[in-house]
Structure formats: structure tokens, C-alpha cells
Structure 1
């Protein structure tokens, strides 16, 4: 009798809404971690993932019983705004919003901003009787009146909100979202699984990365002159790239290291390649990209760095998850917020204070303090991983 009851139990399904194009290693790590953690609690769960890259979802996540929902234009969709996403939300039992898509920059451009689409999508889901969850999200920036109105409306309709940083709580509290349904956890990607030690070593060998000297990892992104705000003159991209190159030439010489650039977003490869063009000691530099390697492989490689300097948030998250000492280049609040959650506010350089000398000095200081930073991370990262693990149980209980 019990066997029949178990077999008749309805298989639950979840729509995952976030960035799922396969172009960003951080987004891929989030998807992987979220589904892996939820499947550990309910192996029968089924997922639907609206995406502009269905083949990526099939190739990467079929093991989780994840089905891609095409958001390509010929399926009557402009990114998330379209029939495929609405139908997916109507089919599944729950919709999970993940990552950092709750901001109001370019609010009326559905190719870039998802908040305006969610403003219509979430009420539709609630009318269908579906559960809505923010899953370890980062909220903001929200700077416009209409943006605040949209975020308030959809947040009031959620059944559960877990956020990855304290500032997200403050934004939601300012909109008078009930504190009873908001929980401070941590970023889901912290619990991503890196590639094995053996596989990571094979990559180092195949990329001809010399291990005779310590390795320093580095990451920059394309948002230097768009998202970055200094309160002064706009950042000059050409000057910035030349400064990075000159600093790394000095780092290579003075600290006697090899440098590994990590491109964790496809769009960042050209700008990183440009920096490498400016570097004189090219024989001491390698480039690892997520066009060639998976998020798990990149995570494994980040674990081999003695120090990692990064702009992209999830490059820093994946590195620190491996207890690699980090230094953040602050181009957005979310990077600053993560360092606060790590209790490593000093491990940063603000663009308002950026210069080649300042960057070199803080890299040098971080280099000589790396063992101390690593010891701190060993404790703090374990705490944050446990906090991130709270969300899957809350989600399953809600289902």
C-alpha cells in the first residue's frame, strides 16, 4: 500500500528564472548549485529553464531532469518576455528567481532588464496559484520610482525571500516588505562542486601553465565605462587597460609570479585579450575562458591561485569558495557587499581611488598577507556555505 502511495505522489516541478544563456560561468554555477542542492532533498524534482541557449541547458543540466524552454525570437519571445516563459510558469508548481536580476537599469529594455517582465509575469503566476521564491538573490540597484514600485509589487507576492547580502534586506525593508518572509543566507554558487584535483592538474598541463612559480589570478570585465561610477571623470578604458598591464608587469617582476587571466563571461574575452596585448612579459601570462571550460573546471583552477584579483562578482565567489585569498575591484555595490559578508572589507580597491600605484600597492600588500586571508576564509566560507544550504530545505518545505 505504501509503495502505491509513493508511486502516486505528484512529481513537483520548478521554473528557474535568471540568467541562463551559458555565457556566464557564475550564472552556470548558480544553476548547477541550486538544482544539485534541491535534488538531494527531492530526487524526483523536475526543472524548466527559460533560456536563449537551449543546447547549453541540455548539455549541462540534463542530469537534473532540467528541460530548456526556448526564449528565442521565433518562439514569440523577447528574452523572458514571451509565451514560452509564461506557459512554463503556468505548468510548474513553483517559480524561483535567482541571481541578481532585480534591478532597474534600462528598465524598459526586455533584452537587458528582467524586472519589467517580472512585473507582469509574477502576478500571472499568483493568479495561477503558483509559489514564488527569491532564491539567495542580490537585490538592486533600484534608483527609480517606477523601479521601486515594480520591485515592491512582485516582492509582496513572493512566498519566500532569501537574499545573499545585508544590503538586499535593507532595500526590501525600505519598500516595507514583511521581514517575516525575508532570510539572510548566502550565494548559492559557494556550494558549487569544483572539478577534481586530477582533472584540474590535467588542464594546467594542457594549457602549459608553468607551476615553477606561484600563480596570481586576475579578472576584469567589459563594464569599465558603463556600470562603473566614480563620482569623478568617467573611467577611460584605454588608460585603465594600460594601467592594468603595467601593474601586472611589475607584479610579475617584483613578486616573481605567473599570471592567469580568467574570463568568466564570453563578452569579457576581447577586453582581457587587449590587456594581455599590452603586457610585456607575455610568456608569464595565460588565459582561461569559460568558452572553453565549465564553471566547475574554472572553480578548480581558481583553487590553484595564491591570490585572485577580480571584478566580476562570481569570479570572486568561486575563488573564495576554494579558500583562495581575493581582492575585489569594486565596479558595483554587489562586489562590495560580498566582501562585507566575508568580513574582508579591506580587500578592495574602489574605482574612485584607482591608480596604477594604488592597485600595485594593494596587490603587494594582499600577496604578503595571503596566508592570513586564507585562514580567515577557511572559517568564514564554511559559515556562508551552511547559510546558503538553508534555502533548499525551505523551498522543499514550501513545495
Structure 2
């Protein structure tokens, strides 16, 4: 089976690279020698990392190669991740939403089947975005989404022609390998009470940097934690992490991981932490996947949906609604009830792992030629 994968790949986002690795690993485990081509912004690196064919994803060049790959393919996998949204400016042909839908349109022109795979949909608020969704998303042959909110939004947008099934983020089917590279990069003694911290820039929301800094200072003093900042998207998250650290009185007790580790290396580091305080969706998914209790800061419905499914929403906050004293109290509770909460998270994560594998089973059922 020849498969093209289209997504936010080759741009250094840990969550999206974890999605790609999980898709490829599970396709190879479940299909008989699939031929995989990935549309990537760093095609040489993607090809080398995953032993696949790769074509430059943008419109500036290699369009003939994209068309050739789609013509030869049996299936275009669009996803996973939050591709179809207009949070970022969406103009006539620019922005993520028109890009991914035009790839779908191109695939259909080439006679190729299309599956939206484990996607998180929205927000879609612009008139142009809504028109594009109604016209082009209905061209998909089959859709799986990672949460109920995404399914409801698709129907609200008029995307009703293909069947839509709620599964889970494919990263819940990620194959975790032991790799201590992150630990080896830090001056740790081995007996620290590690707390993974994942922050990101989000438009004009900078007030939470000070709130998180205050909470971490208190937790260092009262719970003797060692916060380790995990940058899930390169220099963007390094910069946001440094903003928090600079506002802390106990910055001497913190560490900041480098931005160039693999998804598995970050995941393995998080797996050995006592707790995660995270904003990035996939820092929380990594935590859930490895049974690490977590407090989320939700800037988007996708984060809130995940926290409700993992069982940790009651300890978490929406961005803009953080109460520092309650954050400290919740963190203390999570740390003191770590084992109990870990069991709950593991149970919920196992359910989501089964749902994640449904993405592969349904792909085989709908598109595999017997």
C-alpha cells in the first residue's frame, strides 16, 4: 500500500514529530511493507529519521513531486494534529487551513483516497475558513478525530458527507523506548523531585509567566521540587521558559533542557518526573501516556478535552483563569497523592491507547485492498 502523509512535519514541533513517528511505526507494524511518503518542510531530515520518502511540503517548489506522489498513492493521510484551524491569520491561500485542504483537493484531483487521521479540528471562526471547510473537508473519504468536540465542530461547519469517528490522538500509540539523553544533559544527582514544566508563547498572554514563576518558587521552598523546563517547540518554548525563569527568585533550582532532543527522549524524561505542569498538549499526552499526574494550562479546547479524558481536569486551569494559591494547593495535592493519581491516569491512558489504535484499524478496514 502506498501512503502519503500530510501534516505539520519538519518544523521542529515535538508534538507533531511524535505524531509522525507514531503513525509510521504503527503503519509498519500493522500493514505489509507500506510505501510511505511524507510532505515535510525538512524532507532530507524526515527521510533520514524515519527511512521514508519525503517531499518538500510548501508551494514554493517540488510541486511536480507532490503531484507525482499523490498520483501514485493509494491513500493520503491528512493528519494527525490540529491542522484544520484558523487561529493564525487565514487569507485566500495562506495559513494552515487552506494549505491542508488544498492538499486534500489535489489528492482528489489525482484520484487518491483521503483520510483525515486523528485530527483535532478548530477553532474555525473566519467566514473564509468556514467556506473552505464546507467545500473541501467534505471531499475526504473518511475522518477520525481525537475528541468529541472536533466531531461536533465538523458537523456544525457542515462537514457531513464522510463518516466521522471519535478516536484519540495517535501519540497514545507511541512506542516508548528507554533513552536517557535528556538526563545525561543535566547536572542532576539522581534524588531530585523532578517536575516537568512545559510553557509556550500564546499571543498576548504573558501574565501567566509571573503566576507560574510565583507558584514554582513556593513549591521549591515548600516541597523541594526541581523544576525542569521541557521546550516542545524549539526556540519558541526556550524563550517562553526563560521568561518564567527570569521572574523566579529560585532560578538557581531550575533546569532548562535543550531544544533539539527527539520526541522519545523528551517523553522518557517526562516519564521519570513526579508531575508535569504543562501548556503544550503533547507534554500532557506524554505525561498521561507514561502515568505521570499532570496539571494543565488550557489555551484551547483540545487541551481541555485531553485533560478531561486523562482525569486531571479538576486540578487544571484555563489560560487567563489561573489562581496562584489554588495552583500551589493543587500541585501539593498531586505530589502527595502521586501514586493514586498515577493509577487513574494510567487507566485512562490505556483506554485512549486502544482508541488511538482504532485509527489504524479503521484505516485498514476502509482502505486496505484485500
Same-fold call, TM > 0.5?
A: yes
Instruction: Quote how far apart the aligned CAs of 1:155 are.
Output: 2.5
CA contact (8 A) 1:86 1:121 kept: no
Instruction: Quote how far apart the aligned CAs of 1:136 are.
Output: 0.7
Secondary structure at 1:26 match in 2: helix
Given the alignment of the two structures, is residue 370 of structure 1 paired with residue 349 of structure 2, yes or no?
Answer: no
Structure 2 gaps, min length 5: none
Q: What is residue 261 of structure 1 aligned with on the other side?
A: 229
Secondary structure at 2:313 match in 1: coil
Secondary structure at 2:55 match in 1: strand
Q: What is residue 386 of structure 1 aligned with on the other side?
A: 354
Which of 38, 52, 55 is the equivalent residue of 2:44? Answer: 55
Any idea what the Cα deviations from partners look like across 1:11-67, whole Å, max 9, x if unmatched? x211111110241111111000001111112241111111221232023111xxx11
Secondary structure at 2:70 match in 1: helix
Q: What is residue 90 of structure 2 aligned with on the other side?
A: 107
Which of 346, 364, 370 is the equivalent residue of 1:396? Answer: 364
Q: What is residue 16 of structure 1 aligned with on the other side?
A: 5
Instruction: Quote how far apart the aligned CAs of 1:351 are.
Output: 2.3
CA contact (8 A) 2:84 2:96 kept: yes
| Alignment of structure 1 residues 102-181 onto 2, 5 Å | 102-105=84-87, 106-108=89-91, 113-178=95-160, 181=163
CA contact (8 A) 1:215 1:306 kept: yes
The count of aligned residue pairs is 364
Secondary structure at 2:230 match in 1: strand
Any idea what the Cα deviations from partners look like across 1:207-259, whole Å, max 9, x if unmatched? 2223323111111001152xxxxxxxxx3x2x432332222111111111111
Q: What is residue 271 of structure 1 aligned with on the other side?
A: 240
- Return closer, same or farther for 1:183/1:28 CA change in 2, 3 Å cut-off: same
Give the TM-score, by structure 2 length: 0.91
Q: What is residue 25 of structure 1 aligned with on the other side?
A: 14
Any idea what the Cα deviations from partners look like across 1:328-381, whole Å, max 9, x if unmatched? 101111101111222433131122322433432332233233322211112111
CA contact (8 A) 1:94 1:131 kept: yes
347-356 vs 130-139, which deviates more?
Answer: 347-356
| Alignment of structure 1 residues 266-305 onto 2, 5 Å | 266=234, 267-291=236-260, 293-305=261-273
Give the TM-score, by structure 1 length: 0.85
Counterpart Cα distance in 2 of 1:212 and 1:121: 50
Counterpart Cα distance in 1 of 2:327 and 2:288: 20
- Return closer, same or farther for 1:203/1:141 CA change in 2, 3 Å cut-off: closer
Given the alignment of the two structures, is residue 214 of structure 1 paired with residue 193 of structure 2, yes or no?
Answer: yes
Calculate the aligned-residue CA RMSD, in Å.
Answer: 2.1
Instruction: Quote how far apart the aligned CAs of 1:327 are.
Output: 0.8
